[in-house]
Amino acid sequence: YQHSSVAAELLVRVLRLFGAEVVPVGKSETFVPVDTEAVGAATLAKFKAWSREFKLDAIVSTDADADRPLVADEKGDLFRGDLIGLVTALFVAADTVVTPVTSNSGISDALGFEVRRTKVGSPFVIDGMEVSYRGGNIVIGFEANGGVLLGSDCLLNGKTLAALPTRDSLLPILAVLGTMASTKRPLSRLRELWDLPFCASERLENFPVESSSRLMTQLANPDALQQFLAPFGTVAEIDETDGLRARMDSGEIIHLRPSGNAPELRCYSEAASYARATAIVALTLEKARAFASPGTEGI
């Protein structure tokens, strides 16, 4: 999916160089805003249509400045950014993974590497990578938006891949496609290799900063938080590393986080199914929107 990405032509050339059959679609001469962490319904509908029309194995793209990958499976369904990061970490045989608290909670030491959690944002991930690096170990960082940072040199197929501690989209795209080839699995079934909860995320745009601040202040009160999240059960655990992340007694997770650079409120969730995770996000943001409505005094 080329849209207005600066890597529109480069990505085609690189994929063909590695032996892929490439079908370029969706080229645009005007700027197309692509948020790899909040892909719109219209874009997802295009993905499904292209998957059917061209019988694709995957759809790959980037955001506008090409530092974050965007990947969808053979059905046109999104392959989340934290899963892209996980695949890349395993692809390069990472010893340490640094990733924000918003990434899938199933990404843990049980997968064969040390995991360090940070606040959201590449500066925090880079700091975590620097702290984690010890001579000879392979350190990788990634975010839920798909951005991957390679914190140390690594050996791939007998060749040294130099460290690149700035967000990159090409390595993760190649890692996903390479893993599909090596496991002989369609992309939609790749996540079955790991026992991970399903995740969903969405945002409220044009959500005033003062409304976010007021909401987060109220939710800092445990009783108010329980009242706000009552439709999902009982709050069992709270993490305030970045925003407010609540684990319910059911094991489901609801995470609210005001954007650090825009009037937006983001919500992330984890559940036993994608439908449930999506429903949690929708209801939580609906409650947040109602809270910010004129005349509303509290939860």
Residue 273: φ, ψ to 5°: -145, 155
Per the structure block, which two tokens stand in for 14?
A: 């690189």
Whether the CB-CB separation of 63 and 3 falls below 8 Å is answered with no
Interval 122-170: pLDDT, tens: 999 999 999 999 888 999 999 989 999 999 999 998 999 999 999 999 9
**Does 14 or 36 have the greater pLDDT score?**
14
Average pLDDT over residues 287-292: 93
Integer Cα distance of 281 and 78 in angstroms:
16
What radius of gyration, in Å, describes the C-alpha atoms of the chain? 19
Determine the pLDDT at residue 299: 67
Residue 196 has pLDDT above 70, yes or no: yes
Which domains are assigned to the chain?
81-169 (3.40.120.10), 198-292 (3.30.310.50)
Residue 172 confidence (pLDDT) above 70: yes
User: Strand, helix or coil at 233?
Assistant: coil
- The span from the CA of 129 to the CA of 132, in Å, is 5
Residue given tokens 């959690």 in the structure block: 117
**What's the pLDDT at 25?**
98
Residue 51 near residue 60 (C-beta atoms within 8 A) = no
Q: What is the mean pLDDT of the chain?
A: 95
Cβ-Cβ contacts under 8 Å for 225 (sequence gap 6 or more): 219, 235, 238, 244, 246
Count CB atoms within 10 A of the CB of residue 230: 12
CB 155 within 8 A of CB 161: yes
Question: For residue 73, what pLDDT is reported?
Answer: 98
Other Cβ atoms less than 10 A from the Cβ of 124: the count is: 18
- The Cα 150–Cα 91 span in angstroms is 12
pTM of the model: 0.90
Percent of the chain predicted with pLDDT > 90 = 89
Q: Which helix (H) or strand (E) holds 161?
A: strand 159-161
Residue 295 has pLDDT above 70, yes or no: no
**Regarding predicted confidence, which is higher, 188 or 134?**
188
pLDDT at 296 over 80: no
66 Cβ partners below 8 Å, 6+ apart? 5, 6, 7, 10, 11, 169
